[in-house]
Every structure is written in structure tokens, then in C-alpha cells.
Structure 1
Amino acid sequence: MSDKVSIFWFRRDLRIDDNVGFLEALKGTQQVLPIFIFDTEILGKLKKDDSRVSFIHDQIQKIRKELQQKGSSLAVYHGKPLEIFKDLAKKYNILKVYTNRDYEPYSRQRDEEIKDFLSTENISFKTFKDQVIFEQDEIVKKDGDPYVVYTPYMKLWKEKFKETDLKVHYTSSHLDNLVQNTRLPNLSLGDIGFERSNLEIPDYDVSPTLIADYEKKRNFPAKDATSRLGVHLRFGTVGLRKIIKKANTEENKTFLEELIWREFFMQILYHFPNTVTEAFKPKYDRIDWRNNEGEFEKWKEGKTGYPLVDAGMRQLNTIGFMHNRVRMLTASFLCKHLLIDWRWGEAYFAEKLLDYEMASNVGNWQWAAGSGVDAAPYFRIFNPTTQIEKFDKERKYIKEWIGEIDTNEYPGEMVDHKEARERALSTYKSALNG
């Protein structure tokens, strides 16, 4: 068995700089073996050409190349993380395992199992806060309960943030503490049973201009004035602290507040993991959903006859992204106009969205259905036609995504708005009052 090493386990933090756990590992006394595990528990649920897997693979190869310039590399494995760690414990004399915390239910359970195993081998498991500014119980009410309304959470977040010395963590001066081996195990996409996706993930934009104009332009899908940060924050290809430093301006608070929404939903998921499958407000699980599969297919394909809904779904199906204003409309349409269970829509977005983040996806779908924390009242039902007047008056976004919009090929409205609204109100009322 070789000299003692520490392991740093890359996960949702696919970058070298501004990576808290990686820096802590490098500052230790042992040489650091960096690893990444393609988790079969997660990959088994994905399609073979899932763009997110291609994106992750590309980022890993970039990290490998960067570390190889320092005489090291990144070891890449494929399997169940617990089994991988059992093998590593036989191969290396491991003293500590470092990683950054993840707050999703599966990740927490996985980490507990790995921590338990490592403790039997006298290996310590050290985790760090990296993907959020505040976590777990750092922003809570005076009695210690979590906030379930955004505005007071956001206000306390901002107060605490003023007292925070926000540091960006640079690793460059510590990289000589890596295991010196440029030929650590590597895997191709084919080795893990995947193929390269044709879908490109665009870079993010957090320029001063975008942030300054964000409030003014963010609700208009044709302007494409959003940052596209979601996927990069999801996989940690950019450090949140760098983004917060840029977003924390007096001129525009809205961009920062959107980042706070992300942390709000993360702490909701942490404190209420049951909300992945159950309504936060339990009486909403009494709703008698129609769950018509044919209507669900029309919604998925963007053939509802409501142009702004259809443009959004076609954008999602084509590029794996949908403008946030349109996400709210398509979700509301599914739950209210079609009375299809929000969990169906949440699962479809999870499959298609490149920036899929469980906490935000579940939180926003429950918001649309009226069943979540701080949700819109159930009787608030978006009118998909007047939304065009408000947010795509010149129909630029609609024309971009629906080629046949002004022809006989475009389908008629699958439901009448007024009738669908009345049906939704009646169904919700009987469930909530029953």
C-alpha cells in the first residue's frame, strides 16, 4: 500500500478555483487524489444521449488536462459510489475524504452510507459548504423553524450577507500538493454507456449590462436577456461566490434576489424532503387530477393550440431550455387548464431541462400547482392568451419556435380557457374544502 493520501471527490463543483472543499483538501498534510464518480444510480435514469452527461464529461476532461499540467490528474470511475470507495480503500492508504455538501435527498443518504463505511476504516469524511452562501439552519426563524415564505427569508439572507466576508477561494498556490500521477484512470462516454449529444450548452452571461437590464428585460422571452447561469450553477462550473460578487449591486436587486430564490428552494428541500413526491400543503394531494395521457402528449409536443405555451414547450424540446416566464405559464396550463398532476410536469422538465435543479424544479412546480410553499393562490390561473399581449406582443418568440403558427397546420385550442378555468376552480375547491 502506498503513502497516505487524502481524496477530494468532485461532484457538483466541476472547477478547480473557488472550490472550498478542494482547497481544504490541498491545504492538508497528505497528497490529494482527486476523483470523480459517474454514479450508476443517477445515470441509470437518463437517456443515452443526455446532454448533461456530455457536458459533465467535457468538464471532467478539462479538469484532467489542467491538473496534468501540474503533474497530476483526475481519476474517473463508474459505478455505485459506496462500491468505488470500498475498492479505493483497498488500493490506497486513505486518511481523509473531502467533498462539498449536497442537499438533495438521494445525495444525503448516499453520503451517510459512505461516511459510515469510511468510519469503519478509520477514514474521516469531511464536507464543506460550497454551492450556497447560506445552508441548512443558517437562515431560520427566531424559534429555529425554517422559513416557508420567501420575502422574510430573503430579507434575513440580505442582512446576514452584509456581515459576511465573501471570499473567493484560489487553489493555484496549493496545486503542488496533488498526487503526482498524470495517468490516473479515465473513461470515455462510451465506457459509461452514453453517446455524445448534439445539444450545445451555452456559456453564461453575467456582464454588468445584463445585470443592469435584468429587471427591465427578464420577462420578455424574445429578448433572451437571461444569464443562462442555471446549468453552470447546477454542476458548479462557476463558483457561486464569484457570481454573487457581480450580482450584489445597488442598481439592480432583482438578479441577486433570483439567486436567493435558488437557496430558498434548496433549504425547503433540505427541511422538507418529502416535497419531491408530496404536496407541501397535504390537502392539495386530494385534488382529483384528470391525468389524460393524450392531453399530456399534446402539452409535451407543444400542440395545445395556445401559442405561448406551445412555443415554450418546443423551445424546451429543441434546446433543453425554456424562458422562465414561459415556464410559469406552461406549468400553470398543465396543472390548471388540463388538471394534470404537477408531478408529471416536474418529471418531464427533469428529463428535458439542461439546468434541471431538483429543489427549484419541485419548488416551482408546486408553486404553479398552488400546493407549495409561498405559492400563488389556487384561483390564480394564467390566461395563456393575455400573457402574449403582456410578454410577446409582437409574437417574435412565438414565430421563432412555431414555424406553422399562421397556417392551417397549427392546431386549434385543445380546451376553452373559460371552461378550463371554471373546471379547475371547481376541482380545487372540492378537494380543499372536502
Structure 2
Amino acid sequence: MKTVMWFRQDLRLDDNKALYNVFHNLNDEDEVLLIFQVNPKQFINQSYNHDAFFSSVKKFRTDLNTQGHLQIIYGDPIESFKTLKKSVSDWNKIYFNEDTSGYGAKRDLIAIEFFKENKISFHSYQNNYLHGVKEIKKENGEDYKVFTPYYRKWIELTKETPLKVKFNKSKIYSEVLFPTDEQKFDQLLKKINHPFDKVGSETAIQSMKKFINNDICEYHKSRDIPSLDKTSHLSNYLRTGELSIRTLWNEIEKQNYSEGKETFKKELCWREFYNMIYTNYPNQKETPIKEQFMFIEWENSQEKFEAWKKGETGYPIIDAAMRQLLKSGWMHNRLRMIVSSFLVKDLLIDWRWGEKYFQKMLIDYDPASNIGGWQWAASTGTDAAPYFRIFNPTTQAQKFDPDGKYISKYVPELVNLPQNYIHQPDKLSKDQQQKYKMFLGETYPYPIVNHKERRKNAILEFESSKSKYRSEQ
């Protein structure tokens, strides 16, 4: 009989719950099919996000094929499984790690119905988080909507330890089942515009160890300074599953106490809190969680949106962050909050525009972990971000990039400015512009909005939406 291991966002062999249980429950006569299903409807073309993920899949496939074969099935998931069942009639079991939110959750529900109809026993596991979405509840059984009490309960719960998978390559079915599908996948890989080489589970483990050994102790101080670049850079490995959350937690817990360590653990809890929120609000990418903000009248200036995307807003910290994103597909976490606030509050551009742009551009985009986080940037999510919390991009830059090192790296036209002007080049006189060879409106734009005025305007708009919502109840 044939047992299928269906890989998705779990691109590793070790500490993989579904794979562990495949070999743990395998009968002597069974063979294992290792499957990766490719659905073209999920592709985001010309996208860092797309290219980073499939660079990881490519690496995983290459590594795995030294011990067996990763079967590629290409197309609609259910049609792919129908074809697989016709080709492998004695397939009677499938193992996979569950998705509880977004597209993955919907796909799994449909797939499970297919498995039931075809008498294929299915075994799914909570693998991507330390605690599943149903594990942490209030005393009355309700879900938490505020982070702090959720964290208090989360931190006290026992965390699972990593699993050692006894991978038996002699049990792997290695004959290529669908050569045409594999050719399609090879063509997809050739079209990657931004190949990423820092991929694979070994690289993920090395990155984890580097962060823990060098940076975690001071994480609470250094994480907000973009020029230091001392965040963990592990989010994409967690997204792809090249790094196990249990392995990461286990390595962290081996370290001596430090404030940085405790701060990072809290960040991992935020990841799980947002996964719970996304599961409970599956439409959060399109509909405000806080219904009182459904009546905001967005200005949605296409011209200003393009300026924001290109890093041409006249606010140096915004422009540096957006140019970093354009150049690398990554952005420092503090800056993600600042540019999000600026788009939604200063420009009054619909948060869904920003969500879609981040989904395309960020290599680690994951709405289930709030990497994107536009509900919170817009204050339409939980109470984590009140609507009147509006970042001032200039004071944020002065606080977190005081010497302008980060700005200078990504906005080179400002590199010659003295420290007291690099955050506000619009304050330069004509003579000073001549002196520093930096001309407003020519080499660098004037600010496209006045932050002080736009802050007042945004608050009024949010309050107006609340009033309209109350009047319709």
C-alpha cells in the first residue's frame, strides 16, 4: 500500500510532525510517496514573495532527491489528487501538517472531503506553532482579543520538544510519477527573477544559531535600530517551514536569562496570537475586524500610492524603507509599522492596497503571523493599535536612526546632508541646497503631505466612521 506525505509550508525533514508520524506508523509492506502540490492560481508573478518561496522549494527538492524523490503534482489540488489516485490505486493514507487560516484552511477542508469520499485515511498535525489556535482560551472558553492576558497564559504552558524523524529512504517510492508536471515545475523555477541562495533547513539552522549566539541578549535594545540590522531574520524560515518553531524555542531556552531573550520570546507569542486572530477572522484581509471602521472614506490617490511604493514621499525614513523593500524584498520590522501608518493615516489610502503590495514584495509575508499587519496599521484589527496612534515619520527617524546611517544607505541623494537636516531636508534654504548639491523638487522631492495636518484629518475620518457605525446600529 502507498502512504502519501504532503509537504506544504514545512520544507524540512527533521522535527516535522507529519513526516515523523509517517515513519512511526509505517507498516512493513508500505511505500511512501513524498508529494509537493503546485497550484498556479496561487502564483504572484514578478514577486519577491513568490521567488523566495519557490527558491526554498527548489532547494528542498534538490536535497530530498538525494534520498528519494519529491513528486511534483501541478494544477488544481483536487484534480491533482484525482490524477494521483488513478495512477496509484493502492494509495490509502495521507499525512500533512494543518493550515488553520487563509487559503490553506479552505483547501484542506475540500481535500479532506476528497479523502473521505475515496476512503483515504488522513492524518493532520498542528506543526507550525508552539500552541494551536484552540489551546489557549479564557476561563469561560472564549478566545482572547487582547495580547497581554493571552501572553500570560501562553508563557506558562509547557512547550513541545523537537521530534527526531527516523527517515528511511528505502521506503521512499522514487519512480517519477508525473514527468510532465515536473517539467512544468522546472519551467517555473527557470522564471524566478530574484533567486535566493540563503535557503534550506541547514541555512535556517545556521541563521538561528548566529542570531542566538550573537544578538539575542541585546535584542530588546537593538531590534528597533534599522542601521544595526539586529533582528533575527528568521521569519521567512518559519514561514516556509525550513526552521521548526519547536527547534527554535528549544535552542532559546538553553540560553541564560536575558532581557533580550524574554523580549524575543514575547515576539514569538505575538506570532501565535495573530495566527489565532486570523483563524477566527478568516476574512481579515478584506474586511475590517473592527466594524466601526468600515465607513472610512479613503482618498486612494494613485499618484501618492506610487510615490509611497517608489520611496519618493519626501520623508527620508519612509523612502529609505520602501527602497530597501524594492531592492531586497525585506524591510526592518520597526519600519514596516512606520510606512504602514504613513500610507493609511497620512495618505488615507486603503489598508488593503498596502496589504496586497506587501504580499507581493515581502519575502516573509504571512498574514497568519501579522507579517503584513495592515489591519493593525489601519487600527481596524484588535486593540493592539488604537486609531489615534499615528507615527510621526520624522520623530521616528530621529529616535531610531539618529545619525541617519540607515537613511544614507538607501537614499544616497541625502548622504551629504548634516545630521540636523537628513531627517528634514525640506528645511534647507536655497543657499544650503546649493551648498550640499541637493535640490528639493529635483534631486529629492518635497514632502507629499504635511504630517501635522494629515494626522488631524485621519483622526477626524476615523471618528466619523465610528459615528456613522453607531448611528446605523
TM-score, structure 1 normalization:
0.92
1:6-405 matched pairs, under 5 angstroms: 6-28=3-25, 29=27, 30-43=30-43, 45-47=44-46, 50-67=50-67, 72-92=68-88, 93-161=90-158, 164=159, 166-171=160-165, 173-176=166-169, 178-181=171-174, 183=176, 185=179, 186-187=182-183, 189-192=185-188, 195-200=191-196, 202=198, 204-205=207-208, 206-248=211-253, 249=255, 250-251=257-258, 252-361=261-370, 364-405=373-414
| Distance (Å, rounded) in 1 between the aligned partners of 2:350 and 2:358 | 13
Match in the other structure for 1:413: 447
In the alignment, is the contact (CA less than 8 A) between 2:271 and 2:370 conserved in 1?
Answer: no
SS of alignment partner, residue 419 of structure 1: helix
Q: How far did residue 12 of structure 1 move?
A: 0.3
Percentage of identical aligned residues? 36
How many residues are matched?
A: 422
SS of alignment partner, residue 128 of structure 2: coil
Paired residue type of 2:55: F
Structure 1 gap ranges (5+):
none
Q: How far did residue 191 of structure 1 move?
A: 2.8
Which digits, 9 at most, give the CA deviation of each residue in 1:256-304, with x for residues without a partner?
A: 1111111111111111112121111101111111111111110011100
In the alignment, is the contact (CA less than 8 A) between 2:52 and 2:195 conserved in 1?
Answer: no
Q: How far did residue 364 of structure 1 move?
A: 2.1
SS of alignment partner, residue 430 of structure 1: helix
Task: Choose 378-387 or 361-370, whichever is displaced more.
Answer: 361-370
Structure 2 gap ranges (5+):
418-437, 469-473
| Distance (Å, rounded) in 1 between the aligned partners of 2:408 and 2:47 | 31
| Distance (Å, rounded) in 1 between the aligned partners of 2:192 and 2:378 | 35
Which digits, 9 at most, give the CA deviation of each residue in 1:149-199, with x for residues without a partner?
A: 1111111111113xx4x321122x341462242656544655347613335
Change (3 A) 1:227 1:177: same
SS of alignment partner, residue 276 of structure 1: coil
The root-mean-square deviation of aligned C-alpha atoms, in Å, is 1.9
Change (3 A) 1:83 1:247: same
In the alignment, is the contact (CA less than 8 A) between 1:139 and 1:153 conserved in 2?
Answer: yes
In the alignment, is the contact (CA less than 8 A) between 1:308 and 1:388 conserved in 2?
Answer: yes
Which digits, 9 at most, give the CA deviation of each residue in 1:115-141, with x for residues without a partner?
A: 111111111111011111111210111
Q: How far did residue 373 of structure 1 move?
A: 1.1
Change (3 A) 1:201 1:254: farther
In the alignment, is the contact (CA less than 8 A) between 1:76 and 1:187 conserved in 2?
Answer: no
Change (3 A) 1:152 1:299: same
Task: Choose 181-190 or 247-256, whichever is displaced more.
Answer: 181-190
Q: How far did residue 418 of structure 1 move?
A: 1.1
SS of alignment partner, residue 96 of structure 2: strand
In the alignment, is the contact (CA less than 8 A) between 2:313 and 2:446 conserved in 1?
Answer: yes
Q: How far did residue 224 of structure 1 move?
A: 0.4
| Distance (Å, rounded) in 2 between the aligned partners of 1:221 and 1:267 | 29
Paired residue type of 1:39: N
Change (3 A) 1:229 1:38: same
Change (3 A) 1:194 1:113: farther
In the alignment, is the contact (CA less than 8 A) between 2:342 and 2:391 conserved in 1?
Answer: yes
| Distance (Å, rounded) in 2 between the aligned partners of 1:207 and 1:361 | 23
| Distance (Å, rounded) in 2 between the aligned partners of 1:256 and 1:175 | 34
| Distance (Å, rounded) in 1 between the aligned partners of 2:167 and 2:363 | 33
SS of alignment partner, residue 462 of structure 2: helix
In the alignment, is the contact (CA less than 8 A) between 2:53 and 2:363 conserved in 1?
Answer: no
TM-score, structure 2 normalization:
0.85
| Distance (Å, rounded) in 2 between the aligned partners of 1:375 and 1:255 | 18
Q: How far did residue 56 of structure 1 move?
A: 3.0
Q: How far did residue 356 of structure 1 move?
A: 0.6
| Distance (Å, rounded) in 2 between the aligned partners of 1:335 and 1:402 | 23
Match in the other structure for 2:430: none
Which digits, 9 at most, give the CA deviation of each residue in 1:97-122, with x for residues without a partner?
A: 10001122221111111111111111
Q: How far did residue 64 of structure 1 move?
A: 2.5
| Distance (Å, rounded) in 1 between the aligned partners of 2:325 and 2:384 | 24
In the alignment, is the contact (CA less than 8 A) between 2:11 and 2:57 conserved in 1?
Answer: no
Q: How far did residue 354 of structure 1 move?
A: 0.2
Change (3 A) 1:48 1:183: same
Task: Choose 356-365 or 295-304, whichever is displaced more.
Answer: 356-365
In the alignment, is the contact (CA less than 8 A) between 1:48 and 1:193 conserved in 2?
Answer: no
Greater Rg, structure 1 or structure 2?
A: 2
